[in-house]
Amino acid sequence: MFETNFAKYNSTKELYDERKKKYWLLFFIFTAVFASIILFQLGILIEYSVRKEYYIDNYINVIESTTQVADANRIYSGSLLGFVFLTLIFISLFIWHVLSMYKVKKFQDFSAYSLFLSKLYLFLIILQIVILLFSGIRFFQSFAWDLNRNLRIFLTVFFIAGYFATWPFLCNRVIRIFYALKIDIAQRNNNNDSLLNPFQSFFNGQFGQSFNSENSGQSPQTAAPILMTDSSDDHKIDYDAKLNELSKEQLVTMAEKLNIYGAKEFSKEDLIAKIIAIFKEKEQKSNLKSNSKSTGEKENSEEMNTSYNDDNKTDDEKFEEN
């Protein structure tokens, strides 16, 4: 389920289409556990609210002070407020989780799941574990009448166990696989970049075959993959004209190869604009590297020529210069 040969895939969508049933099942299991925790938390809150007088009376019996009633009401109000706040946090996280799953479905990519939310789960678990460690056995001590505390102890243990049973080794592992695939694809694209214009290299690699077949009746010189440059010395590229020759399906394919999310939902004009922006950025980086290399070679050549000229001067010429 998790063993993945990244070389087989040219996009995250290919991996998604192949394993979506298995991976979605893992996320649905986590969603069911998450929903159970929220329902349990709501049940605890309702039980504590309905039995207000019962808990206040028991707090009065336990508290040993002259202001028992005031202290009991203060304890109850503080506990109720804390339960409400905690319940709202759980509900907010669940809504965020559902929205993240919608993004995964929309982009057909599990790496679209909120990375911050995934880290927030871990933070909450660490917080719960720290509380358990510092509270020690006192955390599990409760009175027989304090049903609410017993329920909260059970919920804490269930929350920690449910998290480790579903998220880090299942759902989060799926997300990391998709992130790793994206990195692998990006590295492969960088390694395959030609010293020629990156747009030309990508264009011919993806669609050169179709253009070659159209020009098959021409001479070998004209049947070669199309060059994206004109005859001028500055080698400017008409990106817009070349991309407009492609169909919407071809543009979507190119956009997916470039890891543009939601390519199918963009119009043809938007796809062209996004693809042009990516390749212009690649072209600028390629030109910077090329210019840097040329400048270094030129400086080395000038130094060698200067040294050669100095060595070949006669003694009379050197004397006249001095």
Give the DSSP per-residue string, 17-55: HHHHHHHHHHHHHHHHHHHHHHHHHHHHHHHHHHTHHHH
Residue-number span of the structural domain to which 159 is assigned: 6-184
Domain match, 217 and 134 both: no
Instruction: Tell me, yes or no, whether 316 lies in a domain.
Output: no
Whole-number pLDDT of residue 257: 78
Highest mean pLDDT among 180-184, 210-214, 227-231, 292-296: 180-184
Whole-number pLDDT of residue 191: 65
pLDDT in tens, 106-150: 999 999 999 999 999 999 999 988 888 877 666 666 677 888 888
Domain match, 15 and 57 both: yes
Largest Cα span, the chain: 116
Higher pLDDT, 224 or 268: 268
Whole-number pLDDT of residue 141: 66
Higher pLDDT, 110 or 212: 110
**Contact yes or no for 84/78 (Cβ under 8 A):** no
pLDDT exceeds cutoff 60 at 317: no
pLDDT in tens, 143-189: 778 888 888 889 999 999 999 999 999 999 999 999 999 999 988 87
If one counts the domains in the chain, the total is: 2
Q: Report the percentage of the chain scoring pLDDT > 70.
A: 71
Domain match, 32 and 142 both: yes
Q: How far apart are CA 242 and CA 240, in angstroms?
A: 6
Instruction: Tell me, yes or no, whether 236 lies in a domain.
Output: yes
Whole-number pLDDT of residue 60: 87
Q: How far apart are CA 309 and CA 302, in angstroms?
A: 11
Q: How far apart are CA 158 and CA 161, in angstroms?
A: 5
Instruction: Tell me, yes or no, whether 311 lies in a domain.
Output: no
Q: How far apart are CA 150 and CA 162, in angstroms?
A: 18
Domain match, 208 and 134 both: no
Domain match, 203 and 227 both: yes
What element of type H or E holds 159? helix 147-166
pLDDT exceeds cutoff 50 at 287: yes
Domain match, 246 and 119 both: no
Name the residue type at position 88: L
20-to-12, 16, 28, 105, 115 alpha-carbon distances in Å = 11, 5, 12, 10, 19
Mean pLDDT across the stretch 5-9?
Answer: 89
Whole-number pLDDT of residue 301: 55
Last residue of a domain, one of 184, 216, 232: 184
Q: Report the percentage of the chain scoring pLDDT > 90.
A: 38
Average pLDDT, the chain: 78
> Which among 275, 234, 270 is positioned nearest to 258, based on CA atoms?
275
Residue 99 pLDDT class (50, 70, 90 cuts):
very high
pLDDT exceeds cutoff 80 at 31: yes
pLDDT exceeds cutoff 90 at 217: no
**Which residues, 6+ apart, have CB-to-CB distance to 198 below 8 Å?**
279, 282, 283, 286
Q: How far apart are CA 13 and CA 109, in angstroms?
A: 6
Task: Please indicate, yes or no, whether the overall pTM of this predicted structure exceeds 0.75.
Answer: no
Domain match, 169 and 53 both: yes
Residue 218 pLDDT class (50, 70, 90 cuts):
very low
Last residue of a domain, one of 155, 184, 213: 184
Domain match, 169 and 111 both: yes
Domain match, 146 and 58 both: yes
Last residue of a domain, one of 140, 160, 184: 184
b/e burial code for range 31-64 (CB count within 10 A of at least 16 → b): bebbeebeebbeebbeebeeeeeebbebbbeeee
Instruction: Tell me, yes or no, whether 319 lies in a domain.
Output: no
Mean pLDDT across the stretch 241-263?
Answer: 80
Domain match, 63 and 163 both: yes
**Contact yes or no for 96/104 (Cβ under 8 A):** no
Higher pLDDT, 256 or 30: 30
Q: How far apart are CA 281 and CA 227, in angstroms?
A: 19
Domain match, 25 and 174 both: yes
Higher pLDDT, 122 or 62: 122
